[in-house]
Structure 1
Amino acid sequence: MRWNSQEGITLVELLAVLAIMGIIVVGIISVLSTGTSSADRTSSRQELQQEGNLIAERIRGHYLENPSLVSTVPAIKCGPDQQIKITVASNKAQLKMDGVIISEGYEYELTEGATLCRDKRSPLKLTIKKADQKFVLQTAFSKLN
Structure 2
Amino acid sequence: MRNMSDFRNEDGITLVELLASIAILTIVVALLYSFIFQGLNSEKKTSDAIALNQDGNVLISELRSQYYAGETMLCVETDDKRLTIDDYTITNGDTPLQIDQGCIEGVNTDEPLEIKLTLGNDLGQSITLEATWQRPESAQLALVVGSSGEGGSNPDNITWEYTTDELPCLDNPDYKNLNIKWTGDKLESNCKQYNGPNKNKHGTNKSLWIKNDVDLEDKNFVKVGQHLFTNEKVELEDNATVTVDGNATFNKKVEVSNNAFITIGANSKFQRKLEMEGQSLVRIGGSANFVKKLSMENSARFESGGNSIFSDKIEMEDSASIVIGGSATCLKKVTKENNASITVSGKSTCS
Shared topology, TM-score over 0.5?
A: yes
Q: Between Structure 1 and Structure 2, whose CA radius of gyration is higher?
A: 2
The AA in structure 2 aligned to 1:62 is: Q
Instruction: Give the length in aligned residue pairs.
Output: 113
In the superposition, the TM-score normalised over structure 1's length comes to 0.66
The offset of 1:22, in angstroms, is: 0.9
Which structure exhibits the higher relative contact order, with contacts defined as CA atoms closer than 8 Å and separated by 6 or more residues? 1
Q: Deviations over 1:39-78 (max 9, x none)?
A: 1111221121111111111111112215xxxxxxxxxxxx
Matched with 2:13 is: 9
Output aligned runs, 1:103-142, within 5 Å: 103-105=77-79, 106-113=83-90, 114=97, 116-131=107-122, 132-142=124-134
The AA in structure 2 aligned to 1:128 is: L
Question: How many Å separate the matches in 2 of 1:16 and 1:109?
Answer: 53
Is 1:42 matched with 2:19? no
Matched with 1:79 is: none
RMSD, aligned CA = 2.4
Question: How many Å separate the matches in 2 of 1:11 and 1:135?
Answer: 57
Unpaired segments of 5 or more residues in structure 1? 67-82, 86-96
Question: How many Å separate the matches in 1 of 2:49 and 2:65?
Answer: 24
Is 1:21 matched with 2:25? yes
The offset of 1:143, in angstroms, is: 3.2
In the superposition, the TM-score normalised over structure 2's length comes to 0.29
Q: Deviations over 1:63-119 (max 9, x none)?
A: 2215xxxxxxxxxxxxxxxx744xxxxxxxxxxx2xx4x222232134211365433
The offset of 1:38, in angstroms, is: 1.0
Matched with 2:66 is: 62
Unpaired segments of 5 or more residues in structure 2? 91-96, 98-103, 138-351
The offset of 1:128, in angstroms, is: 1.7
Is 1:143 matched with 2:143? no
The AA in structure 1 aligned to 2:86 is: E
Secondary structure class of the residue paired with 1:103: coil
Question: How many Å separate the matches in 2 of 1:57 and 1:84?
Answer: 16
Question: How many Å separate the matches in 2 of 1:14 and 1:141?
Answer: 72
Question: How many Å separate the matches in 2 of 1:58 and 1:133?
Answer: 22
The AA in structure 1 aligned to 2:113 is: S
Question: How many Å separate the matches in 2 of 1:107 and 1:61?
Answer: 20
The AA in structure 1 aligned to 2:35 is: V
